[in-house]
Structure 1
């Protein structure tokens, strides 16, 4: 490894100065005591002596210290083979120990953070693969079980055949649902999913979602309503289909985890001149504090057994987060266990978009 060292003279300069001053003062006093020199002669002698001693001390110190440090510093850089791939190798390596210590300490800190990040990613990768395996395994085994039963002789019974084929179809639909959601998240993450921006009334869109989910909410006797009964139209600039998907996912979750005879309320708030805030709140079971930071992870479930029995791909909130971020907006969540949850996100007002076009 070829290393270019950046020399520093600060140590030699200061050390040579201290040696020169002390040596000159000592010799001048000694000469004045032993020999009968005039002040002018002593001054001349001292001036010449201090220059000679300074130059000699500087050369010796610089050479010796540089050699001493060079050998050890070179060994440090040779031992730390990872420096080949670090940013340190792009700069001249200094023989100043303070600078060297700072650089090596920074390198060690960066590597420690990098290792910790890799550990977190590895843990996430293992969890993700385990979750994907579990999510796909359940419907696959279900379909396999029904088909195997039919092949083992149950096909002759028309009633059983029809019932099992319908159940197998549901399992296949769940597989397709999971794969489609995974495909969407992948496209959102790599930026391949193009958003079709348009101007639309967010209040009207929410009402349409209420109508779509009315029967689902009725099964648990959950009422869907606006927080303000006299809400006025509010036009936003976004991808209408994707925003509808967000609202559907959030309201479906509020129904899924809501209490019987509970409520789900949606508010549309003019946050600023440029932004509108959509807030979806419920009085369901709520989310424990330690689970909130992981809510938007793929396949992460707060109640793993209960939520799987409710259906869904486990990707809903992850998709919601990615769609919001694709719009360059923010999503927020507040929840208190046993009290309820509130999800909110921002959108750009259509009025601001029209003003910018003008």
Structure 2
């Protein structure tokens, strides 16, 4: 229970008056009138002195602290001088506000440290990812300039390799631009009614050659589902499906299977992409949606990609008000799942 200055002064004044009259009662020839006068005088004097002291000590310090806060222009404090003065215990109120402020600032500092660490890692990753195709293309072109141009077979082979390196660089830059625009909100989702089943069929046709090279088969379930109407940005959701299915093919075992499964809920369509490849170790699951994060860097490099695909998938789905979940068991495969709003029947 918080005590007001007046109540504290009253209690102390009563105690002082009681002590004074008690001691005076032991003095010989003291009358009741004298005891009453001494008690009343002790009470009145003590009450005024204690109340004045509390007011001076407490509120003077409170006002100093309040002026300091105002000078610092700390907008985080939402308390006014009047509300402090009216408080039974203004120091406690001010202390609580400062504690909340310090906790908030500590959290902000931790976030800034994380962002700084992320910025350093991101710059290092970008530098590395850009350096690799640039140096490769430079090497091939300089070799040709230094005399290999006259050999037709060497020239064609090196030009193709240089072109492939530059194509990879172009894809990386495009993905970086796309991701940056999504994070800043520059790209808005064009939500419309689309048939996701048709989108998946078109994606499977585009990836058929990659799947054949790795002897991976596709399966869409349920078999009798002919259309899946959802509200989404068709182009962006196609990007999502390309990234998820292409990853399921590239990181699957040879002769594996990729299953695209549709499940109908009351207001949503649930889409999952599952493979039966080697899976992802549990310690990596929380980081696979980070930019440039690769579970196995050497194998990922061999299989291509910019390392931004899952980060883009995450941002696209966030733009649709959805989230992507991943489940994986080493040796048994990986499943990516997300939801989209069902479209009304026309």
TM-score range, shorter chain: 0.7 to 0.9
**Which residue of 1 is the match for residue 160 of structure 2?**
166
- The 8 Å contact of residues 62 and 91 in structure 2, kept in 1 or not, is answered as no
Report matched runs for 1:90-169 at 5 Å. 91-92=80-81, 96-169=90-163
Q: Deviations over 1:69-97 (max 9, x none)?
A: 469x65x997x999555623975478843
**Which residue of 2 is the match for residue 333 of structure 1?**
326
Distance 1:259 1:310 in 2: 13
* 2:263 is aligned with 1:269: yes
Report matched runs for 1:244-263 at 5 Å. 244-263=238-257
Kindly state the Cα deviation for residue 217 of structure 1 after the two structures are TM-superposed: 0.8
**Which residue of 1 is the match for residue 77 of structure 2?**
88
Distance 2:339 2:141 in 1: 47
**Which residue of 1 is the match for residue 174 of structure 2?**
180
Q: Which moved more, 1:16-25 or 1:137-146?
A: 16-25
* 2:190 is aligned with 1:196: yes
Kindly state the Cα deviation for residue 194 of structure 1 after the two structures are TM-superposed: 3.2
Residue 261 of structure 1: SS of its match in structure 2?
coil
* 2:14 is aligned with 1:25: no
TM-score (norm 1): 0.85
Residue 294 of structure 1: SS of its match in structure 2?
coil
Residue 343 of structure 1: SS of its match in structure 2?
strand
Distance 2:172 2:245 in 1: 19
TM-score (norm 2): 0.88
Give the number of equivalent residue pairs: 339
- The 8 Å contact of residues 274 and 336 in structure 2, kept in 1 or not, is answered as yes
Q: Deviations over 1:233-260 (max 9, x none)?
A: 2211211121111111100000111011
* 2:339 is aligned with 1:346: yes
Q: Deviations over 1:254-279 (max 9, x none)?
A: 011101111110111102x2210111
- The 8 Å contact of residues 83 and 89 in structure 1, kept in 2 or not, is answered as no
Indicate the RMSD between aligned Cα atoms, in angstroms. Answer: 2.9
1:66–1:236 distance in 2 versus 1, CA, 3 Å: closer
Residue 284 of structure 1: SS of its match in structure 2?
coil
* 2:316 is aligned with 1:294: no
Given candidates 209, 222, 226, the residue that maps to 1:228 is: 222
